[in-house]
Homo-oligomer: A and B are copies of this chain.
Amino acid sequence: MDDVVIKYVTRKPRLNKPIFIEGLPGIGNVGKLAAEHLIEELNAKKFVEIYCKDFPPQVFINRDGTIKLVNNELYYWKAKKKRQKDLIILTGDYQGLSSEGQYELSDKILDIVESLGAKQIFTLGGYGLGREIEKPRVLGAATSRELVKKLKKHGVVFRENEPGGGIIGASGLLIGLGKLRGMEGACFMGETPGYLVDPRSAEVVLRVLTKILNIDISFSELQKKAEEIEYIAEQLKELESLSKKGEERKDIDYIG
């Protein structure tokens, strides 16, 4: 068995200079939420399943009792209008567990998208701030100054020393390894507290991305998810404040 197994579930699609978009699990699950929402809204078609020895040895159980071996998946979407581009979208259950696996996976995935004509990569992720945010911004990093300039015009924020540690994982590696192959690329990072999955951050990332891609999609499903999460977050806060009051109560009893 190869370290990375590429399984085509349809014929190799013919695409016209597609743009490659990545959204895998990470901080706030921002990238994965964004990529999945894009796939759903565009009704993109799955054409490759990727299995890897560096994913956990795990199957998930679907609602109907059937199993699914954990994987990554590639979807494609063909442009409908003149100013749009064909897309390849990557999402999945996990990133590689080890450094070596991460490099191996990114390299194999770049092989596929390059063979389909992709020359541009946009990776999506979260930028964890560890605090509540009024209005999340979208931070960026790119493979060239020209692209930085272009993205600034679309509202992407470039800040010195943010994120300080650079970009860790597939979102960084794909544009880093892509650059070595002469591909253009950028990473969009939605600010997020990072405590819970963050559909609101995924939305702002997607709003920037779809504007750049000249694509028009609905965000209502993401907004519904955001409301659900906000409800859960409030419940958690209430629980916490109740338990604190309980403790204070105890303190009083104790003192009394």
Contact = CB atoms under 8 A, between A and B. Distances in A.
Interface string A38-75: 00000000000001011111111101111111100000
Contact of A100 (B54, B143, B169): B54
A168 interface: yes
Q: Is the interface of A mostly helix, strand, loop or mixed?
A: mixed
A8 to B, nearest CB: 13
Contact of A170 (B56, B57, B168): B57
Interface stretch (A129-137, A171-179, A209-217, A234-242): A171-179
Contacts of A143: 66-67
Contacts of A162: 61
Given A1-B103, A97-B99, A167-B61, A179 B55 contact: no
Nearest to A170: B57
A176 B59 contact: yes
A100 B104 CA distance: 13
Contacts of A253: none
A102 interface: yes
Copies held by the complex: 4
A67 B175 contact: yes
A63 to B, nearest CB: 6
Interface string A78-110: 000000000000000000110110111011000
A102 B65 contact: no
Given A65-B142, A69-B177, A172 B104 contact: no
A141 B57 contact: no
Interface of A: 1, 3, 5, 7, 51, 53-61, 63-70, 96-97, 99-100, 102-104, 106-107, 140-145, 148, 158, 160-163, 165-170, 172-173, 175-177, 179-180, 187
